[in-house]
Amino acid sequence: MTRPVETVIEAARTFLGERMTVNAALREQHSHGEDSNPPVLPDAVAFVQTTEEVSQLLALCHAHGVPVVPFGAGTSLEGHVTPVRGGISVDMTRMKQVLEVNAEDMDCRIEAGVTRKELNQHLRDRGLFFPVDPGSDSTIGGMCATRASGTNAVRYGTIRENVLGLTVVVPDGRIIRTGGRVRKSSTGYDLTRLFIGSEGTLGIITEIQLRLHGIPEATSAATCQFDDLAGAVETVIAVMQTGIPVARIELVDEVQLAACIAYSKLDGLEELPTLFFEFHGTQASVAEQAGQAEEIAVSFGARGFRWATDPAERTKLWQARHDAYWAAMAQRPGLKSVATDSIVPISRLAEAVLAAKRDIEESGLSAPIVGHVGDGNFHALIMVPPEPDGLDRAWALDRKLVARALALGGSCSGEHGVGLGKREFLEIEHGAEALAVMRAIKATLDPRGIMNPGKVFLN
Ligand SMILES: Cc1cc2nc3c(=O)[nH]c(=O)nc-3n(C[C@H](O)[C@H](O)[C@H](O)COP(=O)(O)OP(=O)(O)OC[C@H]3O[C@@H](n4cnc5c(N)ncnc54)[C@H](O)[C@@H]3O)c2cc1C
């Protein structure tokens, strides 16, 4: 008897042709993201190019009860794209058009497979930029689906604050449009926000209306180093509480900095806890912000600021920060990692980071710390030792850090999302009733449970 998935593959070939493929190498490539979960092969990979194709494909999968896993750049860190129940991996990377840029309104409309770097390359000569910058060059559809953020979130917000509207194909194939171009609207339920962070479990985002920002007149970046981690974290808290509008403020502990120095060939930095700053504004306001931040840092023991004034030097510094994950991985070739993503209210940041550091030391594992600390968000990249119990030890440490973040009023994930890895914490964080409402929304939109099954909810 023909399996439902085979029926779908054959029917989809009538409109996707060779772009519906069962090629072994492509199925392997779509069997995992950037995480340590065991890979699972999809039955087929569909390379879609239009919203209408996505609609036809979902209608077919819905009719035959075949699982669908949207796939952007595959950089997510919690098993999001692993097709745990097989089915069709829907690759969005050929939906690459920038459909319109409205410079005077500072917005644009793009297809979901455009990456953040591609968009900024496109905007470069218009005096505009898109600020949300995860360390990877992810697709903007994937960023919407994981409610991503990055180093600029402290000033410009996360993807949630920068999306005005969406085109989404819901699981039965209907195409809906949410939001619009205006900066605010008080009509109807906020469906845009419902799909932001839905991790491919409610539908496939095919187009995105984004807010853009003007490239600031002046930008300056600096690093400052501390003899101890406490001084660095106390500086962050004081800078944020003083209300200095920093564009970026990132913490890198001494273990991670050693990896960055080696990987990105950074000169003039010692292997010490370090803060990376960036300030945006006019020449005068940048100088004022920088002066205030430096004064605070020095009062907590910083060895003064080291300025990166020339744009090439600044780019090198921030590229090194964005490459922190690869730098840490390069230090332990062949090992896998588990990335924690705790976030706490800013006033509890010192408690959370310093306790995390103690937990890491006690665990005997290597876990460099790096973080978007202006938001209270930090990552420990737990390297999984090669022994048979290595992954269990890494997850045990992850659970410990999450439990503390939750106890401090925080969240188990500031930006990476739930996927497979954080499902067990969802009820603790949101409560059973809120979780029941989330399940009811899922059941209404996706009654056959075809969209990215096994993710977000346990069972
Ligand atoms: C080195 C490195 C650094 C990182 N730094 C950050 C960081 O600073 N901040 C941060 O937030 N994350 C970070 N991440 C995690 C990751 O880059 C983000 O989660 C990113 O948003 C994923 O985008 P993607 O295109 O790779 O999506 P994928 O990994 O392909 O997919 C992620 C999820 O979104 C769904 N999805 C993808 N596209 C669509 C779509 N069009 N419609 C509906 N659902 C869709 C998938 O089904 C899946 O559930 C980092 C990862 C790496 C490897």
pLDDT surpasses 90 at 45: yes
CA-proximal residue: ligand 1, atom 8 (nearest): 134
Do 189 and 230 belong together in one domain?
A: no
CATH code assigned at 13 = 3.30.43.10
Domain count, the chain: 4
What b/e sequence results for 170-192 when a residue is b if at least 16 CB atoms lie within 10 Å of its CB, and e otherwise?
bbbbebeebbeeeeeeeeeeebb
Q: Per the domain annotation, does 459 fall within a domain?
A: no
pLDDT surpasses 90 at 230: yes
pLDDT surpasses 90 at 406: yes
Which of 188, 214, 240 is where one domain is finished? 214
Annotate 181-202 with three-state secondary structure.
CCCCCCCCCCHHHHHCCCCCCC
Q: What's the CA gap between 326 and 312, in Å, rounded?
A: 21
Do 185 and 227 belong together in one domain?
A: no
Do 116 and 202 belong together in one domain?
A: yes
Q: Per the domain annotation, does 317 fall within a domain?
A: yes
Q: Per the domain annotation, does 440 fall within a domain?
A: no
Q: In this structure, is the dihedral angle defined by the CA atoms of residues 338, 339, 342 and 347, taken in order, positive or negative?
A: positive
How many alpha carbons fall within 13 Å on the CB side of residue 72? Answer: 28
Q: Per the domain annotation, does 26 fall within a domain?
A: yes
CB atoms within 10 A of CB 23: 11
Query: What is the domain extent for residue 29?
Result: 4-93
The finding on whether 75 has its CB within 6 A of some atom of ligand 1 is yes
Mean pLDDT value across residues 1-12: 96
Do 110 and 210 belong together in one domain?
A: yes
Residue 308 banded pLDDT, cuts 50, 70, 90: confident
Q: Per the domain annotation, does 108 fall within a domain?
A: yes
Do 282 and 314 belong together in one domain?
A: yes
Which of 300, 326, 352 is where one domain is finished? 326
Q: Per the domain annotation, does 127 fall within a domain?
A: yes
Token duo for residue 301:
């023991």
Q: Which of 118, 146, 210, 420 to mutate to test the pocket of ligand 1 (most atoms within 8 A of CB)?
A: 146
Mean pLDDT value across residues 158-169: 98
Mean pLDDT value across residues 429-457: 98
Mean pLDDT (the chain) is 96
The finding on whether 421 has its CB within 6 A of some atom of ligand 1 is no
Do 357 and 311 belong together in one domain?
A: no
Give the pLDDT of residue 456: 98
Do 348 and 369 belong together in one domain?
A: yes
pLDDT tens-digit readout, 352-386: 999 999 999 999 999 999 999 999 999 999 999 99
Q: Which of 55, 75, 208, 378 to mutate to test the pocket of ligand 1 (most atoms within 8 A of CB)?
A: 75
CATH code assigned at 224 = 3.30.70.2190
